[in-house]
Amino acid sequence: MDNYLQLKDISLSYHTKEGEVLALKNIDFSVKKNEFVSIVGPSGCGKTTILSLISGLLKPSSGEVLLDGEKITKDTSIGYMFQRDNLFPWRTIYKNVTIGLEIKHQKKDKESLSHVDDLLNKYGLHDFKNSYPSQLSGGMRQRAALIRTLCLKPKILLLDEPFSALDYQTKLSVCDDVHSIITKENQTAILVTHDISEAISVSDRIIVLSKRPATIKCIQKIEIDRALTPLKRRESPEFSKYFDLIYRELTSEKK
């Protein structure tokens, strides 16, 4: 499955009263199944826009997005994680995690429910089923947010700077956490981040975008052992080489 997710020559403009903003220009890439791809680029270049396109929240002005050979529709199962966990404070963790099932009317489906229990057990949230989000630490909340998306067995996970609201120490450990869950669940994931080190530590490939309108500057393959955790990968000898490469791409002025 070399072309699990395909973005074919995508362009997208936002229309506002002030005028037309070209956000994406000729974006063309594909993602393999079970691959972990990161997108880095200057702020405001259009990273979130790309995720919105893949999730079907936005339609491209031209070009098309295919997932598993099909166009994205409202019923395509996509997992979306944001910078903030967006747990609903009035719901218990269990009810937060199962909200997707509620929406899809699978709340009584035995198989789905046992899947939920499985995930909660496996990732250490079972004892907090009946707690409210305000009673959990930032890291645990982000884990709950991830489980919420996994409950729907998404075809792809989209992560929009999911760690940037956490402090540095927590960020490293939550990143390890989330990465290991994603690997164990055999998920395909796309991570948007500002943090080059973070991108290198989790990804198989990194897509570097230019300033707005975003075009792809380069796609860098990261060949560090996938079996290592993100923290271990940070210590590998190739790490700084990749950091330099990507940093140079990001800051170079050429188009």
Under the criterion CB under 8 A, does residue 182 sit at the interface with other proteins? Answer: no
Binder to Mg ion among 48, 197, 203, 210 (CB under 5 A)?
48
Under the criterion CB under 8 A, does residue 251 sit at the interface with other proteins? Answer: no
> How many C-beta atoms surround the C-beta of residue 100 within 10 A?
21
- Per-residue x/- track, 33-62, ligand ATP (CB under 6 A): --------x-xxxxxxx-------------
- Per-residue x/- track, 137-176, other proteins (CB under 8 A): ------------x--x-----x------------------
Residue at token pair 């990507």: 246
> CA 81 → CA 77, 137, 178, 227, 243, distances in Å?
13, 17, 11, 24, 25
Query: Before 162, cis peptide (omega within 30)?
Result: no
Pick from 158, 143, 132, 156: which is nearest to 66 by CA? 156
Q: Which stretch binds ligand ATP (CB under 6 A): 14-22, 102-110, 228-236, 238-246?
A: 14-22
**In degrees, to the nearest 5, what angle opens at C-alpha 238 toward C-alphas 232 and 242?**
105
User: Which CB atom, from 53 or from 136, has the smaller least distance to ligand ATP?
Assistant: 53
For residue 154, what is the DSSP state?
A: -
Q: Minimum Å distance from CB 241 to Mg ion?
A: 28
Q: Minimum Å distance from CB 131 to ligand ATP?
A: 31
User: Which CB atom, from 48 or from 149, has the smaller least distance to Mg ion?
Assistant: 48
Residues 68 and 197: their CA atoms lie apart, in Å, by 30
- Per-residue x/- track, 167-206, ligand ATP (CB under 6 A): ----------------------------------------
Q: Which stretch binds other proteins (CB under 8 A): 80-88, 172-180, 181-189, 207-215?
A: 80-88
Under the criterion CB under 6 A, does residue 23 sit at the interface with ligand ATP? Answer: yes
